[in-house]
Amino acid sequence: MKLNRYLCVILFALSASTAFSQQLPQFTQYMFNTISINPAYAGSRETFSAVGLHRSQWIGLDGGPETQTLSIHAPLRNQKIGLGLSFINDELGYENFSYLYGDFSYTIQTGEKSKLAFGIKAGFTHYSLDQELLNDPSVVNDPFFNDVSNRWSPNVGAGLYWHTNRWYVGLSAPRILNTDYNKGGSGNVDYVALERISYYFTGGYVFDLSQSVKLKPSVLLKATNGAPLSFDISANFLFNEVFWIGGGYRIDQSAAAIGAITDFQISKQLRIGYGYEYPISDIRPYTSGTHEVLLMFEIFKNKRIKSPRYF
CA distance 277 to 258: 6
Q: What angle do CA 172, 48, 309 make, to 5 degrees?
A: 65
* Residue 184, in any domain of the structure: yes
Total residue length of the chain: 311
Examine the pLDDT at 275 and tell me if it is beyond 70.
yes
Residues 21-36 pLDDT 10s: 556 888 999 988 899 9
The residue segments making up the domain with residue 171 are: 5-306
- pLDDT given at position 159: 98
Query: Is 75:48 a contact under the CB 8 Å cutoff?
Result: no
Collapsing DSSP states into helix, strand and coil, what is residue 186? coil
* Residue 311, in any domain of the structure: no
* Residue 274, in any domain of the structure: yes
* Residue 190, in any domain of the structure: yes
Q: What is the mean pLDDT of residues 108-130?
A: 93
- pLDDT given at position 228: 82
Q: What does DSSP say about strands 17-19 and 190-192: parallel, antiparallel, or unpaired? A: parallel
- pLDDT given at position 144: 61
**More reliable by pLDDT, 227 or 305:** 227
Query: pLDDT exceeding 90 applies to what percent of the chain?
Result: 59
* Residue 300, in any domain of the structure: yes
- pLDDT given at position 69: 96
Q: Which amino acid is at 43?
A: G
The domain that holds 71 is classified in CATH as: 2.40.160.40
Q: What's the total number of domains in the chain? A: 1
CA distance 183 to 189: 11
Considering the entire predicted model, what is its pTM?
0.86
- pLDDT given at position 187: 47
Residues 195-240 pLDDT 10s: 678 999 999 999 999 999 999 999 999 998 777 889 999 999 999 9
Choose the weakest-confidence range: 37-51, 126-140, 252-266. Answer: 126-140
* Residue 37, in any domain of the structure: yes
CA distance 162 to 147: 43
* Residue 164, in any domain of the structure: yes
- pLDDT given at position 85: 97
Q: How far is CA 242 from CA 159, 207, 245, in A?
A: 30, 16, 10
Q: What is the mean pLDDT of residues 258-264?
A: 96
Q: What angle do CA 114, 118, 119 make, to 5 degrees?
A: 135
Query: Is 297:268 a contact under the CB 8 Å cutoff?
Result: no
Examine the pLDDT at 307 and tell me if it is beyond 70.
no
Collapsing DSSP states into helix, strand and coil, what is residue 98? strand
| φ, ψ at 40 (rounded to 5°) | -70, -15
Closest CA to 275 of 45, 35, 25, 44: 25
